[in-house]
C-alpha cells in the first residue's frame, strides 16, 4: 500500500493534525456529522456496521446548530477523533453521514442523509417557511442552490417515497428504503423487559410511568407545570414510579441547570429526571404506562405496546399521513377532570395491542432489515465489497438504576 500523504481532489495535501487524526494508508475516510445530541444518538447505531474493517477510518465533526450543546461531550465519551468544523469542510471524504441538513452542502464527499427520529412526523415550522413541508423531506432540507445535496437519502418506510415525490421529486432517484435502526433495536430487546426492570431497580409490583416530551411550543413540556403535580399528588408512591424524559433540544435550548432548577421540587419528591444523553429505549420497554405527545419516543411506544395517554398533540404541526397522526387518533387523551390513576387504569383496561401493532408497522417497512440494508448502501457508496458476515442487530444493554440518575 502506498505511504504517500492523502491529497485533496485539487492535489493539495489534506490539512490535519497528525497527532489527532492518524490513518492507515489507503483507508476510506468516513465522516459522521453530528448536529445535535439526538442526531448523534441516531447515527451511533451505524457505527457497529463499520467496526473491524481496516479499510475504513471514521472521524466525527460537530456541525453548526442552535442545539448542539452536549455533542462534544457525547463524542468524547465515544472516544472518536473530532475534527473542527472549519477543518472538516476543507477535507475530502469518501463518505459523509448526517441526520441533519444544516451546513452539509459545505462538505466534500458523497453524503448519506438519514432520518433522526421515528420517520418524518413534524411539519416544517411556520417561522422557517410559508410553504410547510414534511420535516426532513422538503426542498429546504435536501437541496442547495437548486441541486440535490445528498448522494443517497435513507428512508424508513415505503410511504416516505410518496411524501418525497410530493415535496422534492428531484430527490427520488437517490432515495432508498432501508428501515429504522431504532425500531429494530427495540424489537430485538423486547424479550429483555424484565431484565431491564430489575436493572432499573423496579420492584415486581411497581408500575413505571414514563412521561416523555418532545421539544417546541406544542410539546407536553410546556404543560409539565400542570401534569407533574398531579403525578405526585394522585399516584400512590408505593405503587407507582415516575420518570421524566425530556427531549435533548430542551436541555440544549435552556441549559441543564435551568431544567434541573425548574424541576427541582418535583425531583426531590420522587420524579426521576432522565439526563439527555441517556439511551431511553430500555426505559420505554420497561414502562407500564406512557404519557406522551407528538414526539418520536411516544410513537416508538406503539412498538412496545405500552398503554399510553397523550398529554398534548398539536395536529396542525404534524404530518397528517404519519403513523404519529394515526396514533393520536387511537390513543386516549389526558383529561383534566378525572383522576390520573383512574385514567391509567382505563388505558390499561381498554388497551388493544393489535391497534398499536398496526401503527408501529407504519414506522418501518423493513422490520429487522436496517443493518443489512444500511450496510449494503454504505458500502455501495464507498465502492467496497461488504464484510463476509451477517450484521446482527444487538439487543440494548442493561440500563443503570433510576436511583443513579
Q: What is the pLDDT of residue 18?
A: 38
Mean pLDDT value of segment 76-80: 93
Is it true that 28-181+366-398 and 184-360 share their CATH fold?
yes
Class of the CATH domain delimited by 184-360: alpha beta
Q: What is the pLDDT of residue 270?
A: 85
Q: What is the CATH number of domain 28-181+366-398?
A: 3.40.50
Is the pLDDT at 320 greater than 60, yes or no? yes
DSSP 121: -
Model confidence over 285-303: pLDDT tens digits?
999 999 999 999 999 999 9
Mean pLDDT value of segment 203-225: 90
Model confidence over 156-186: pLDDT tens digits?
999 999 999 999 999 999 999 999 999 999 9
Q: What is the pLDDT of residue 15?
A: 42
Model confidence over 39-69: pLDDT tens digits?
999 999 999 999 989 999 999 999 999 999 9
What CA–CA distance (Å, rounded) separates 204 from 87?
Answer: 52
Mean pLDDT value of segment 234-260: 93
Q: What is the pLDDT of residue 405?
A: 56
Q: What is the pLDDT of residue 125?
A: 66
Is the pLDDT at 117 greater than 80, yes or no? yes
What is the percent of the chain with per-residue pLDDT over 70, rounded to a whole number? 92
- Residue 373's Cβ-side half-sphere holds a number of Cα atoms within 13 Å equal to 22
Write down the mean pLDDT value for the chain.
90
- Give the residue extent of every domain in the chain: 28-181+366-398, 184-360
Query: Could you tell me the CA-to-CA distances from 234 to 146, 147, 210 in Å, in that order?
Result: 56, 55, 15
N-terminal to C-terminal alpha carbon distance within the chain: 49
Query: Could you tell me the CA-to-CA distances from 75 to 17, 79, 319, 320 in Å, in that order?
Result: 18, 6, 32, 35
Amino acid at each position: 500500500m502506498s505511504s504517500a500523504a492523502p491529497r485533496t481532489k485539487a492535489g493539495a495535501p489534506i490539512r490535519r493534525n497528525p497527532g489527532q487524526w492518524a490513518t492507515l494508508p489507503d483507508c476510506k475516510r468516513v465522516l459522521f456529522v453530528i448536529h445535535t445530541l439526538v442526531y448523534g444518538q441516531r447515527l451511533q447505531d451505524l457505527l457497529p456496521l463499520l467496526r473491524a474493517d481496516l479499510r475504513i477510518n471514521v472521524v466525527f465533526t460537530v456541525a453548526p446548530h442552535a442545539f448542539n450543546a452536549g455533542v462534544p461531550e457525547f463524542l468524547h465519551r465515544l472516544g472518536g477523533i473530532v475534527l473542527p468544523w472549519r477543518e472538516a469542510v476543507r477535507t475530502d471524504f469518501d463518505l459523509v453521514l448526517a441526520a441533519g441538513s444544516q451546513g452539509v452542502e459545505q462538505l466534500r464527499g458523497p453524503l448519506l442523509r438519514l432520518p433522526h427520529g421515528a420517520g418524518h412526523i413534524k411539519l416544517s415550522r411556520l417561522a422557517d417557511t410559508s410553504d410547510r413541508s414534511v420535516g426532513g423531506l422538503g426542498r429546504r432540507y435536501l437541496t442547495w442552490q437548486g441541486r440535490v445535496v445528498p448522494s443517497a437519502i435513507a428512508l424508513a418506510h415505503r410511504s416516505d417515497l410518496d411524501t418525497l415525490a410530493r415535496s422534492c421529486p428531484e430527490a427520488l432517484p437517490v432515495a432508498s428504503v432501508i428501515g429504522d435502526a431504532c425500531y429494530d433495536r427495540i424489537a430485538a430487546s423486547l424479550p429483555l423487559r424484565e431484565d431491564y426492570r430489575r436493572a432499573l431497580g423496579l420492584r415486581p409490583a411497581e408500575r413505571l410511568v414514563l412521561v416523555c416530551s418532545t421539544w417546541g411550543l406544542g410539546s407536553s413540556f410546556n404543560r409539565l407545570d400542570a401534569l407533574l403535580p398531579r403525578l405526585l399528588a394522585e399516584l400512590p408512591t408505593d405503587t407507582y414510579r415516575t420518570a421524566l424524559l425530556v427531549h435533548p433540544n430542551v436541555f440544549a435550548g435552556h441549559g441543564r441547570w435551568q431544567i434541573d432548577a425548574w424541576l427541582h421540587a418535583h425531583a426531590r419528591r420522587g420524579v426521576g429526571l432522565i439526563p439527555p444523553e441517556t439511551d431511553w429505549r430500555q426505559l420505554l420497554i420497561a414502562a407500564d404506562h406512557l404519557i406522551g405527545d407528538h414526539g418520536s419516543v411516544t410513537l416508538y411506544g406503539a412498538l412496545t405496546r405500552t398503554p399510553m395517554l397523550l398529554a398534548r398533540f398539536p395536529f396542525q404541526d404534524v404530518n397528517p399521513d404519519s403513523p404519529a397522526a394515526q396514533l393520536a387518533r387511537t390513543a386516549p387523551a389526558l383529561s383534566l377532570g378525572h383522576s390520573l390513576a383512574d385514567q391509567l387504569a382505563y388505558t390499561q383496561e381498554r388497551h388493544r395491542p393489535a391497534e398499536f401493532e398496526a401503527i408501529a408497522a407504519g414506522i418501518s417497512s423493513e422490520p429487522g432489515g436496517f443493518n443489512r440494508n444500511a450496510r449494503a448502501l454504505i458500502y455501495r457508496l464507498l465502492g467496497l465489497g461488504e464484510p463476509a458476515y451477517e450484521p446482527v442487530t444487538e439487543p440494548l444493554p442493561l440500563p443503570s438504576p433510576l436511583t443513579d440518575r
